[in-house]
Amino acid sequence: MLKCDLHVHSNFSRDGESSIDEILQRAEEAGLDAIAITDHDTMEGYRLASSANSRVLVIPGIEVSTRHGHIIVLGIDRPLPPRRDVRETIVEAQVMGGLVILPHPYHMWRHGVARKVRGILRMVDAVEAFNSRYIVGTANRKAAQMAQRYRKPCVGGSDAHNARFVGFGVTYIQAEPTVQSILQAIREGHTIAGCRMTPLRTYTRQSLRSVLWKVRRRVRL
């Protein structure tokens, strides 16, 4: 059984705080077998991590910003264009051989696609039922319930934006320690998801930084 964190951001994301080296070191300390670097709309962090000398397997990944919210795609070798229709993006990702995860699907303030697009769970390969960056567990519980209703595998991720919190959200996967074996096991539902919460003070600080960035960007425009 492999212990994996499938939702990690490095400083290649505009809101990420830690380097790839810091993330990999923390992943080793946390006893993880694999992590997915899922930076926002870029795979540069993954490319750097994949060439690093680490015992932790690095899964190719990206968190794509669609017009309807965010999706995670694992197992592709190039980024998908942002700001397109979420359905079109999912279809293209799957044609490329990618595994599509719906992250934080019911979160009110964090680009939860399932709140905006009816029936979107039918299209994805897995649902992030445990995300450590929740103040309360309501949205996690709803994600888990809806994943069960649609018979979708559940995964967990830290959604870490700082290396300290890598491993706070995990997916236990019955697979061999290779990317293809892990992705196939997720598709087949050989997963157990769980997490512990990111500290409220950290979550609030990071959220405030994100809001300030958006305000500055709009002012520049």
Residues with Cβ within 8 Å of 63's Cβ and at least 6 positions away in sequence, in order, are: 7, 9, 13, 38, 39, 40, 41, 70, 71, 72, 103
Task: Please report the pLDDT score of residue 190 as a whole number.
Answer: 98
pLDDT at position 15 over 50:
yes
> Of 160, 166, 163, 120, which is closest to residue 143 (Cα–Cα)?
120
Residue 213 identity: W
Q: Does the pLDDT value for residue 204 go beyond 90?
A: no
Q: Which residues are registered as beta bridge partners of 100?
A: 73
Mean pLDDT of 142-158: 97
Domains of the chain and any CATH numbers: 2-220 (3.20.20.140)
What's the whole-number mean pLDDT along residues 25-45?
A: 98
- Give the model's pLDDT for residue 108: 78
pLDDT of 130 over the 70 cut: yes
